[in-house]
Amino acid sequence: MHTEVQLNGKPLRVTLSDDAERALTARQAPLLAEMELYFSCLIRKQVHFHDNRVPEGVAVTDKLTVRFHPVMSQVCSVAGNLAGPPLTDFPIVQGERFSPKWLEISYQQGKWNGRFGY
């Protein structure tokens, strides 16, 4: 499935694999796909999937909502802390300039996977 929604006033192309589309159809509750842009010593892009949470963001279908969430670490630490430093929201001036252009979601071996880009 390919569809387009408006996120932060810009188009976002959402692509679901066939397995992801089937898994979404079988769900009772909506799924939130959160595109996280993480600012720290380096920049990381990651998609988190949330169940049992009030969907915040833009509805793609009745079972899928997407959200863009820029965050930053409170400290810069690259030494062995796998959990990572505490995060805080990162207010971006002209946030639409950082809004992703595409999101791809798949479902493999019972696990949601996603990636996004510009």
Which of 36-45, 59-68, 86-95 shows the lowest mean pLDDT across its residues? Answer: 86-95
Q: How far apart are CA 2 and CA 67, in angstroms?
A: 17
Confidence of residue 22 (pLDDT cuts 50, 70, 90): very high
Higher model confidence: residue 68 or residue 55?
A: 68
| Structural contact between residues 101 and 117, judged by C-beta atoms closer than 8 angstroms | yes
Is the pTM higher than 0.85? no
- Residue 66 CB coordination number (10 Å): 25
As for how many domains the chain has, the answer is 1
3-state secondary structure at position 96: helix
How, if at all, do strands 58-61 and 43-50 pair? unpaired
CB-count burial class (<10 Å; 0-12, 13-18, 19+) for 108: exposed
Domain extent, residue 77, equals 2-117
